[in-house]
Amino acid sequence: MVERKYVDVDVFAYWLGSHPVFGEKAYRWIKSIERARRGEYITSTLTLYELAVVIAGLKGAFLRDRDFIETIVRALISLQGLEIVSLELQDHVKALELMNSYRLDYEDALHLAVAIRVNAKKIISNDSDYDRTPIERVF
């Protein structure tokens, strides 16, 4: 059985945004995802939207630019070992609980709710807020 890992949006943002400090580390994670079996690495549909917003801000692009959005979406769906799961109503409800329990903002709590739902054992993120949660953070 493969240990499931949840991938936070920052990994993809560092990779696609060519971050000067964390870009190389993110790229190494992306290479691991490319070599993995589908489902070993998981993220949510929330990541697609957040990533588009972040990269648009970095590149001066617009969310109404279909070609730009297609580039973002295709970059993620092309990663062999990445499974992108939908947000469910239960994730939103669980996120409210997690916000209080672990002092998280809503976005981080949503990602954590999905990670818990899919039984991820680790969360790949540079966000130290996840250090207060029951899932081990690695980056």
The answer to whether the beta carbons of residues 33 and 80 sit under 8 Å apart is yes
Q: What is the pTM of this model?
A: 0.94
Local mean pLDDT, 10-residue blocks, the chain (139 residues): 93 95 97 94 97 95 96 95 97 98 97 98 97 97
pLDDT at 2: 82
Give the per-residue pLDDT at 16.
Answer: 94
Q: At what angle do helices 45-59 and 106-117 cross, to 10 degrees?
A: 140
Q: How far apart are CA 132 and CA 110, in angstroms?
A: 15
Strands (E), the chain: 5-7, 41-44, 82-85, 122-124, 136-138
Q: List Cβ neighbours of 61 (8 Å cut-off, separation of 6 or more).
A: 55, 68
Task: Supply the pLDDT for residue 60.
Answer: 94
